[in-house]
Structure 1
Amino acid sequence: MKTPSMSRAASTLVEKTLLGVKSTAIPGSGPTSTVSVVIRGGSKFESASGAAHVLERFAFQNTAKRSGLRLTRETELMGGQLSHYHDRESIVLTAKFLRQDLPFFVELLGDVVGSPSLDDFELVETVWPLAILESRAADAVPSNTALELAHSVAFRKGLGNPRLVDPDSDHVSIENVRDHFAATYTKANIHIVGNDVDTEVFQQLVESAFGSIPEGTAVSAPTPAAFHGEARVKSTAGNAFTLAYPLIGADASPAAAVLGYALGGIPAIKWATSSASIPTGAAEVSPFVSTATGYASYANAGLLHFSVTGPYSAASSVSAAAKKAASVIKSAPSSLSDDVIKRAIAQAKFAAASAVDSYEGTNWAVGTKGLGLGSVDTAAFDKVTPDAVKAVAKKIAEATPAVAAVGKIFELPHTDEL
């Protein structure tokens, strides 16, 4: 198992399953260590909308052993840092600390994962308000909303589940949270990764701290399937138009990520415009319009997406740029040169390496790969050929996209107008 930022220790990774707990130690002798618990429990696995988001927000609150206040103060006294987040496939809890404090923080993570209180009053007073704030902050960015809608249209269930709670329609009860906790916080669904640790000591501590967690079974989600359609939401925050192409099974390959860079590119200099076709076309329409391209990699699926954004007053320009982007995508099989693809491979490889170029990023990559979740290894891009990229380009050029329009929707195009 190898990730970009692990070259110094890739040959000495130590993977073990002790008492049913999967763990990986990345040896090192630096002054700080980082331990992450990666949990197969993201929004695609939830049975109640918003349960994964709310459960993640419960991280580092009260447990059976210590209050959230005590947990925070103890961490501060030791100079440590705690963090948590979730995505569509996983929930990740991380502690970063001085090397000598490894025993305390492994025990703390075991306490947080194994015996959280999950009290109703915490949900009402702390967790739910924070979840709503996070959700509303995301909704205030039209491009975020458009990408969420694109997932919903492209996958419907599972990967199409909303990543965040909907403050206006979701009502996540404490029972929903406890049910999701019981299903996912089990030995079958967690992978513990220690970075820059003493291997033998780390494995012993993991066995002690996590050994009593329930065995459980690996949670499952609906088998991903690709759909197309359209979602449109009014917003005065700005305009965003997203064209998304779901890819399933073998089609969800690194070549799809490379195609995104071939068409959308990334600027080599800050504030500059990429020389790729889609951003170049948008720049010709209006200086107020911008584009973004991405490839979301999941287990047995992926979503290649192209977005055009602009201020509320520039809806007509966003519309024109979106139509240009659609035209570029349709002509890609015949217009892409080997030189453009070679450049795109380098950009995709750099982006993948940068995403995990930290202890936290490495831990996520190792943990998700160990759980069979979506991840992209930079080595995979070395095997991508121009023919493979052109094959993906042909597939999406012939496909009907999942479309999401946010903003002044009566001026943004419909799918059949592209």
Structure 2
Amino acid sequence: MISRSALSRGSQLALRSQGASKLAQRGFAAVASPKASYEPTTIAGVKVASRDDNGPTTRLAIVAKAGTRYQPLPGLTVGLEEFAFKNTQKRSALRIAREVELLGGQLSAYHTREALVLQANFLRGDLPYFTELLAEVIAETRYTTHEFHEEVEHIIHLKQAKVNAAAIALDAAHSAAFHTGLGAPLYPTSNTPVASYLNENAVADFAAAAYNTANIAVVADGASQGGLTKWIEPFFKGVPKQPTGQLNATASKYFGGEQRIAKTGPSSFVIAFPGSSLGAFQAETAVLVGLLGGESNIKWAPGFTLLSKASAEAPGAHAYASNYAYSDAGLLTIQINGQASAVRKVAEESVKALKALVSGTIAQEDLVKAISKAKFDLLAASETSGSGLVHAGAELIHGGKPLQVAESVKALESVTAEKLTAAAKALLEGKASVAAVGDLYILPFAEDLGLKV
């Protein structure tokens, strides 16, 4: 049973937070400074990154080198994700759920192409309980046959059925760009014979290879290093020091190419180029993504970005730019979704806009807007529990250090129109990775757009 003292900490903290909220209201007009970067350290052999603004809540995550690029067989990452917070050697899944609800906490498990993330959000005073729970999940989960067939396998099939054209196109672009490793799909497609690869024993073997101090990092937002040291040392003693088994650890290599997949329903088209990686932040790439944009910042307004203007030429499709940053590679993408004929028109206009950056000049006003958008995206990712937390952990498990926010902001501010033009020119002169999913009779080939593949 969970202790009375553990539950009372939440009540005490709630009372204290009422006074803190009044102070926050009085300081509302003050200029806010960016949150500090995550500070890396090592505690009892475990790689740790933390930052603390003395707020009332904490986000604690284990980031494991268990993303889809590392799985030796299809579906293992998803299988391991779905086994999170099931029965362990000490607690049943029901007990975990009841204890977490009594403390008002939240648990989640999700994955990227490089990492599997086990995350807990909770009241600051409950750090001991959740540190123990996360350590228990990675060291003592029971990979039982009945849970695999009754819950895990069923959920995997449901997720396979939900994979849409946009997700398939993005996976196909990664496959064209990197082939294996980062080219593996985030979720196994419905055509993948998962049953022939996936069972509880295969998932347990993958866990033994991934869940160890050599392949994990603990990231905390809202906890001090002193507090983490106090609880990581005793609770992570049972986590293996070395992996049992091998991960698929092939280094990424960019190839470029084209994939076309016929599918009924809405169409999706992805144009991708080498982008900015986690270990080598490229300010020009971030600003170029801001300039390309696609998503309007103001409701009912088309926006200033190049892709917003391209989408306005063909109602029925929308486009947006992203940079997917990985430990040893990056992929800058333009994704267009909608009706096939509109998607084709927006793809043509998008490539024209990219080529115009090389042959023309970038207006100073547009440059300022793009830099501001890039700064906002960087700082927003750093502040929330999403990509900033995951990127900090991913950097640690790959031997790097978390992104230095202040330095990156300065780099963005130094980007000039000439640097953006040079970046766009380098993209167009290199090989693109193009993926078309939907009505292939209408969707263009890379050659039709003047792209090299």
With 62-71 and 257-266 compared, the bigger mean Cα shift is at 257-266
Partner of 2:174: 151
Runs of at least 5 residues in structure 2 that lack an aligned partner in the other structure: 1-31
Shift of 1:51: 1.0
Aligned equivalent of 2:237, options 208, 211, 216: 211
Report 1:40-189 matches (<5 A): 40-137=65-162, 139-140=163-164, 142-171=165-194, 172-189=198-215
Give distance in 2, aligned partners of 1:366 and 1:411.
42
Partner of 1:275: 304
User: Structure 1 residue 306 and structure 2 residue 329: aligned?
Assistant: no
- Partner of 2:376, secondary structure, is helix
Residues 376, 288 of structure 1: alpha-carbon distance in 2 compared, 3 angstrom cutoff: farther
Give distance in 1, aligned partners of 2:404 and 2:158.
34
Q: Is the 8 A contact 1:42 1:88 kept in 2?
A: yes
- Partner of 1:96, secondary structure, is strand
Give distance in 1, aligned partners of 2:257 and 2:54.
52
Shift of 1:356: 3.0
Shift of 1:220: 6.2
TM-score by length of 1: 0.89
Give distance in 1, aligned partners of 2:344 and 2:206.
41
Q: Is the 8 A contact 1:187 1:216 kept in 2?
A: yes
- Partner of 2:241, secondary structure, is coil
User: Structure 1 residue 234 and structure 2 residue 257: aligned?
Assistant: no
With 286-295 and 127-136 compared, the bigger mean Cα shift is at 127-136
Give distance in 2, aligned partners of 1:224 and 1:146.
20
Aligned equivalent of 1:222, options 250, 254, 259: 250
Residues 376, 406 of structure 1: alpha-carbon distance in 2 compared, 3 angstrom cutoff: farther
Partner of 1:330: 355
Give me the CA root mean square deviation: 2.5
User: Structure 1 residue 369 and structure 2 residue 413: aligned?
Assistant: no
Partner of 2:284: 255
Give distance in 1, aligned partners of 2:391 and 2:90.
30
Give distance in 2, aligned partners of 1:377 and 1:25.
13
Q: Which amino acid in structure 2 is aligned with residue 153 of structure 1?
A: A
Task: Deviation per CA, 1:141-194: give whole Å up to 9, x if none.
Answer: x22221111111111111111111223313222233122211111101111123
Task: Deviation per CA, 1:340-359: give whole Å up to 9, x if none.
Answer: 33321211121122223224
Partner of 1:39: 64
Task: Deviation per CA, 1:312-368: give whole Å up to 9, x if none.
Answer: xxx222212212212222332222416233321211121122223224555334322
Give distance in 2, aligned partners of 1:369 and 1:375.
6
Task: Deviation per CA, 1:58-114: give whole Å up to 9, x if none.
Answer: 110111111111111111122211111110111111112222222111111111011
- Partner of 2:252, secondary structure, is coil
User: Structure 1 residue 196 and structure 2 residue 222: aligned?
Assistant: yes
- Partner of 1:180, secondary structure, is helix
Shift of 1:247: 4.1
Q: Is the 8 A contact 1:187 1:215 kept in 2?
A: yes
Partner of 2:5: none
Give distance in 2, aligned partners of 1:21 and 1:111.
15
Give distance in 1, aligned partners of 2:429 and 2:108.
43
Q: Is the 8 A contact 2:256 2:432 kept in 1?
A: yes
With 218-227 and 111-120 compared, the bigger mean Cα shift is at 218-227
User: Structure 1 residue 398 and structure 2 residue 426: aligned?
Assistant: no
Count of residue pairs brought into register by the alignment: 406
Give distance in 2, aligned partners of 1:85 and 1:70.
21
Give distance in 2, aligned partners of 1:108 and 1:398.
51
Q: Is the 8 A contact 1:43 1:158 kept in 2?
A: yes
Q: Is the 8 A contact 2:40 2:402 kept in 1?
A: no
Q: Is the 8 A contact 1:331 1:397 kept in 2?
A: no
Partner of 2:4: none
Q: Is the 8 A contact 1:309 1:318 kept in 2?
A: yes
